[in-house]
Amino acid sequence: MSGNVADSAVSPTTPAQTIPADLSGQMLELDEDDDLEVFSKDTTNTDGGSFNASMQTSPGSMINQYKFDEEEEEEDPGAKDLFITVDNPESHITTIETFITYRVVTKTTRSEFDSSEYEVRRRYQDFLWLRGRLEEAHPTLIVHPLPEKFVMKGMVERFNDDFIETRRRALHHFLNRIAEHPILSCNEDLKVFLSAQAWELASHKKQGPGFLSRMGETVRAVAASVRGVKNRPEEFNSIQEYVESFSQKMTSLDRITQRIVKEEREYLEEMKEYAPTYTLWSGSEEELAEPLKGVANCLDRCFQETEGQVRQLSDCLAPTLHEYVLSTDTLKAVLRRRDNMQAELEAKNEALAAKRADRDADPRERGVVWQSLLGKNPEEARQQRQQRLTGEIGELKEEIDKLEDRVEWANNALKGDWSRWQRSMRSDLKDAFVSTAQKNVDYYEKVRVTHLKPPQPHHTFDTRLVSITL
């Protein structure tokens, strides 16, 4: 992440309150954020007018292009016709390795599918393959991220139950986002992923664009990015800036959440030592035995509830935040690829202009001398060159036309995906925060209630307790 690291004051409301020496050493080091401009996202609807036959998409997706635009105007969740669930993780042990597979159940009414229900088992590697294919096929669409391969932070081992559950949830989320996407959901590889048996999938994986063609694309991409984009449309600038800031915020929130989990776990460790002292004490007392056991009991409940709360944070909130951190990487990549496309177009236009200038230039200024050295008739040479250039110009113009269509389509698709992404982001994060807040409310409620059943108080104290609970 970005470079600047500084200790931040924990409680900004009280200036006198700095982090006590003990804590500041381990204190969360959060990045200093630059001042952000307040700007608005301009989510214009795609005009959807441009098709492009050279798009590496299945014919199905072209037809769905219309649906894509309609969905922009009226969001109709009832139109969902592809339901996917990921569950039931199972461990597979072979002589070479151990891995987990997940059950993927698909229910659909789409005609492209031979059947209306499928149940297959897939492993993480298969998901990785699928996502790679989707990105290749649609480099300028936003494909939801997958959970990471390894988790560095925390004490998570690969086959730990919590880890598997978190991963399962993320995989489920991933497939559902794909299913909701009008273009991605029609992808052929997705169909194979959802419906094919294990051996079918394995053989299908072996097909597809070869290594060399992928290399070629990469080389073009690198060349384009070196060139850089000259006239990026303003809205993409805005998106770029937003993504930068958003990425920082998500990373911070992710780290804060992890930190809270850590602090709460340490709190639990100390509680483990604290609660039993009351029980121990009750062994030495007569009259006080009961109230002491009462306190011990409350503290135990508090301990259990806190465990639940920590789980909510680490199983629900943190993974969601992390998903969106990964998502910004995807966004940046998509923006880059779009830029590269545009850069390529710009480069070709420049080349075209150069060739035109070349053709229309004064023959004397051109390499006529060179030609004549080779023993050619200057007039003939000039005509030959003119012909050649005209041909090249024509070809170039064709390429440019195609590229322009592609760029326009890509821009529109991206804009559409962008507003879709924003909607999902808002809904996902809102849900995650709301459920976290709710869990906290529940937590305090449960702990509060345990204290309502205190040790049998003397009658003089009873009335006071009653008034507290009212």
Partner 1 sequence: MADAQREDAAETDTPNANDAQEKTSNSTMVEDSSTTLLKRMEITVAEAEKRTGKKAVNMQETYTVYLIETRPSSAVNEGQSVAPDALWRRYSEFELLRNYLLVTYPFIVVPPLPEKRAEFVWHKLSADNMDPDFVERRRVGLETFLLRVASHPVMSNDKIFYHFLMQERGWKEVVYDTGFQAKADSRLRALNATFRVKNPDKRFMEMKHYSDELQAITSQLLRARARVADRLYGVYKVHGNYGRVFSEWSAIEKEMGDGLQSAGHHMDAYAASIDDILEEEEHYADQIKEYLFFAEALRAVCRKHELSQYELETASLDLTSKKLQREELATGIVRTFSFKGMTTKLFGQETADQREARLKLLEEQIDEGEETVREKTAECEEHVHSGWEDMQRFKEQKDRDLREAFINYAYMQMSMCKKGIQMWSNAKECFSKM
166-205: contacts with partner 1 (CB under 8 A): none
Taking the complex as a whole, the smallest distance from the CB of residue 339 to partner 1 amounts, in Å, to 21
Question: Within 10 A of 154 (CB to CB), how many other CB atoms are there?
Answer: 14
Going from the C-alpha of 380 to that of each of 127, 362, 375, the distances in angstroms are: 61, 15, 11
The footprint of partner 1 on residues 367-396 (CB under 8 A) is: none
Contact by Cβ (8 Å): 409, 37: no
| 33 binding partner 1? (CB under 8 A) | yes
| 164 binding partner 1? (CB under 8 A) | no
Q: Structure tokens of 290? A: 């009961």
CA gap 201, 199 in Å, rounded: 5
Q: Which of 74, 97, 157, 287 binds partner 1 (CB under 8 A)?
A: 287
| 153 binding partner 1? (CB under 8 A) | no
Question: Within 10 A of 185 (CB to CB), how many other CB atoms are there?
Answer: 23
The long-range contacts involving 225-230, CB below 8 angstroms and separated by at least 24 positions, are 225/336, 225/339, 225/340, 225/343, 227/343, 227/346, 227/347, 228/339, 228/343, 229/339, 229/340, 229/342, 229/343, 229/346, 230/343, 230/346
Going from the C-alpha of 168 to that of each of 171, 251, 259, 300, the distances in angstroms are: 5, 22, 23, 31
| 240 binding partner 1? (CB under 8 A) | no
The footprint of partner 1 on residues 436-465 (CB under 8 A) is: 437-438, 440-441, 443-445, 447-448, 451-452, 454-455, 457-458, 461, 465
Beta bridge partners of 82: 108
Q: Which is nearer to partner 1, 193 or 421 (CB)?
A: 421
Taking the complex as a whole, the smallest distance from the CB of residue 454 to partner 1 amounts, in Å, to 5
| 48 binding partner 1? (CB under 8 A) | no
Taking the complex as a whole, the smallest distance from the CB of residue 460 to partner 1 amounts, in Å, to 9
Interface stretch with partner 1, choices 171-179, 215-223, 238-246, 337-345 (CB under 8 A): 238-246
Interface stretch with partner 1, choices 100-108, 207-215, 277-285, 402-410 (CB under 8 A): 277-285
CA gap 65, 80 in Å, rounded: 16
Taking the complex as a whole, the smallest distance from the CB of residue 304 to partner 1 amounts, in Å, to 15
Q: Which is nearer to partner 1, 29 or 350 (CB)?
A: 29
Q: Which of 11, 116, 372, 377 binds partner 1 (CB under 8 A)?
A: 11
Nearest Cα residue to 246 out of 352, 335, 310: 335
| 234 binding partner 1? (CB under 8 A) | no
Q: Structure tokens of 38? A: 């307040």
The footprint of partner 1 on residues 298-317 (CB under 8 A) is: 298, 302
Q: Which is nearer to partner 1, 58 or 304 (CB)?
A: 304
Q: Which of 46, 50, 252, 330 binds partner 1 (CB under 8 A)?
A: 252
Nearest Cα residue to 344 out of 392, 404, 395, 409: 404
The footprint of partner 1 on residues 257-276 (CB under 8 A) is: 259-260, 263-264, 266-267, 269-271, 273-274
Q: Which of 4, 5, 39, 329 binds partner 1 (CB under 8 A)?
A: 39
* Residue in the block written with tokens 């990487």: 329
CA gap 350, 223 in Å, rounded: 15
Taking the complex as a whole, the smallest distance from the CB of residue 174 to partner 1 amounts, in Å, to 23
Interface stretch with partner 1, choices 54-62, 134-142, 285-293, 363-371 (CB under 8 A): 285-293
Q: Which of 110, 149, 388, 430 binds partner 1 (CB under 8 A)?
A: 430
> Can you list the alpha helix ranges (DSSP code H) found in 208-360?
211-227, 234-282, 289-312, 318-359
The packing angle between helices 318-359 and 378-452, to 10°, is 170
The footprint of partner 1 on residues 73-132 (CB under 8 A) is: none
| 40 binding partner 1? (CB under 8 A) | yes
Total of chain residues touching partner 1, rule CB under 8 A: 74
